[in-house]
Structure 1
C-alpha cells in the first residue's frame, strides 16, 4: 500500500504555526518556561525590585506614623494596605507585559535577553495595568459595590456565573494590551471579539493553566524550600499568562491575523 508523506506545519518556536488544541497551548506554555524561563524570571524580579524602592519608602513612613496611638490603625488601612494592593497589581501587570513581549520571539524561535525583555515590556506596563484594573472592575465591581452597600455574601451567589463568564470573556485583554499595543478599552473589546464563539475553549485553557500553576508553585516550594518560595510567585504570575498569551496568538490565527 502506497504511503504518502504529509508536510508538517512549521514550528520554529514553542508551538506550531497553525490553529492549536488546548493541550498544545498548555504544553507550549511549559515549553516557553523551559526555554525562556530563566530570562523571564530575571526580568520579572528586576522589575519588581525597581518598584520596591517607592514601596519601601511608603512603608517606612507609614510604619513611623503608625507608632502614634491616635493614627496607628488609620495609617495601616489608608497607606499600607493600598500600597500592598498596588504593588501586587503592578507585579501582575509587569508579568503580563513581559509575557506579551516574550510571545513573538517564543512563537518564532528567536533569542531574547533580560534587558531586551525589560525594554520591550516597560512601555506597555501602564496600559496593561489599566486593562487589568478595568477587567477587575467589570468582573468584581458589582459584587464589591453590593457588599459595600450591606448585602450579605449569600445574596451575591447569582453573580458568580456572571463574573466567571466575564472573567473568561476578558481573559485575553491584558495580552491584547501588551502584545498589540492597545489601550485598556480597546484591549477589552479585542478580548471579547477573540473569545466570542470560543468561550468554552478559552475556559479549557485558562482555568487548567491556573490550576497547573498553583500545583507547580506548591511543588517548587516543597522541593527548593526558601529558593522555591522566591520562584513560586513568579510561576503563579507567568504560567497562566503564558497560556492566555498563546491562546491569544491562536485566536488571532483563527481570525486570519498574523501572529508576528
Structure 2
C-alpha cells in the first residue's frame, strides 16, 4: 500500500483515513462520526447546557428577588431572562464547536471517548471559541447589519453580501482552530485565513451543505414535534455543521503541516486532545 512520509495512505481506524482527504471523505467521515461518537457528543453537550441553564434560571431568579415589588419583579424576570437565553444559545453554539474540536483527534484515530471527558476538555476552550465565532460573524456580517440598522435601503447593502460571504468562508475554520490549538480569537482568525488560502471554494463546498442540512433538520423537527422538536434540535444539531469544518481543518493541516504523521505517532493516551 502506498506510503507518504511514513504514514499509511489507506483507511485507518478512525472516521477518516490518515491522508489528504477528498470532499467525499470529509462528508462521509462526518456522517460516520454520528453513530460512533454521537452519544458521548450529545451527552456532553446536554450536560453543558444543563449547567448553563441552571445559571440562566438562577440569574433571572436573583434579579427577581432583588426587585422591590411583585409587579416590577415579573418585568425584571422577563427582561433578565431574554438576554440570558440569548447568551445560552451563544454558549450552546460555542460549546458544540469546542466539543468537536476536542473530538477530532480521537475520532481520526478511532479512540473511545466519554461525555464527561469531552466536556472537561471542551469547557476551558469554549470562551476562545465563542470569541472566534463572534469576531468572525462581526467581521463578515457587521457592516451590512450596521447599514441596515442605520436605515439604509436593502439594495444599498447588496454589494456587501459577496464580501460578507467571502469573509465568512475565509474565517470558517477559526472556531475549530481556537478549540483544537487553544488559540485566542484574533490569532484563530489569522490561522483560518492561512488554512483556507487556496481552498476557498472547497471550504464553501464542504461547509455549506452541512449548514443547509442542519437548518432543514431543525425546521423539520420543529414542524413535526413542536416545542419538543425544537428542544431536541438544540441538543442534537448544533455540533453537526462543525464536524465537516473540523475534518476540513484536519485535511488542510495534513496537506500542509504533516498532521497525519503527528497523529500516527501520537504517544498520548486515548481521549480528547
Cα RMSD over matched residues?
2.7
Structure 2 partner of 1:187? 188
Question: Given the alignment of the two structures, is residue 236 of structure 1 paired with residue 233 of structure 2, yes or no?
Answer: no
Name the CA shift for 1:223/1:11 in 2 (closer, same or farther; >3 Å): farther
Assess if the C-alpha contact under 8 Å between 1:217 and 1:235 holds in 2. no
Structure 2 partner of 1:172? 173
* Post-superposition offset of 1:118: 0.9
The answer for unaligned runs of 5 or more in structure 1 is none
Structure 2 partner of 1:158? 159
Assess if the C-alpha contact under 8 Å between 1:89 and 1:129 holds in 2. yes
Question: Given the alignment of the two structures, is residue 16 of structure 1 paired with residue 23 of structure 2, yes or no?
Answer: no
* Post-superposition offset of 1:210: 1.1
Assess if the C-alpha contact under 8 Å between 2:16 and 2:108 holds in 1. yes
Structure 2 partner of 1:129? 130
Assess if the C-alpha contact under 8 Å between 1:62 and 1:80 holds in 2. no
* Post-superposition offset of 1:181: 1.2
Q: Distance in 2 between matches of 1:221 and 1:146?
A: 32
Q: Distance in 1 between matches of 2:200 and 2:137?
A: 18
* Post-superposition offset of 1:54: 1.9
Q: Distance in 1 between matches of 2:100 and 2:45?
A: 10
* Post-superposition offset of 1:10: 4.0
Q: Distance in 1 between matches of 2:106 and 2:248?
A: 16
Q: Distance in 1 between matches of 2:78 and 2:155?
A: 29
* Post-superposition offset of 1:200: 0.4
Kindly report which structure 2 residues correspond to 1:1-260, keeping only aligned pairs within 5 A, or say none: 9-60=10-61, 68=71, 72=75, 79-218=80-219, 228-259=229-260, 260=263
Q: Distance in 1 between matches of 2:170 and 2:236?
A: 23
Q: Distance in 2 between matches of 1:94 and 1:39?
A: 14
- Which region of structure 1 is more displaced relative to structure 2, 213-222 or 92-101? 213-222
Assess if the C-alpha contact under 8 Å between 2:61 and 2:77 holds in 1. no
- Which region of structure 1 is more displaced relative to structure 2, 57-66 or 20-29? 57-66
Pairs aligned (count): 254
- Which region of structure 1 is more displaced relative to structure 2, 81-90 or 166-175? 81-90
Assess if the C-alpha contact under 8 Å between 2:60 and 2:77 holds in 1. no
* Post-superposition offset of 1:11: 1.1
Name the CA shift for 1:89/1:151 in 2 (closer, same or farther; >3 Å): same
- Which region of structure 1 is more displaced relative to structure 2, 181-190 or 145-154? 145-154
Name the CA shift for 1:237/1:256 in 2 (closer, same or farther; >3 Å): same
* Post-superposition offset of 1:245: 0.3
Assess if the C-alpha contact under 8 Å between 1:96 and 1:178 holds in 2. yes
Q: Deviations over 1:19-52 (max 9, x none)?
A: 1111221111111111000110000000011011
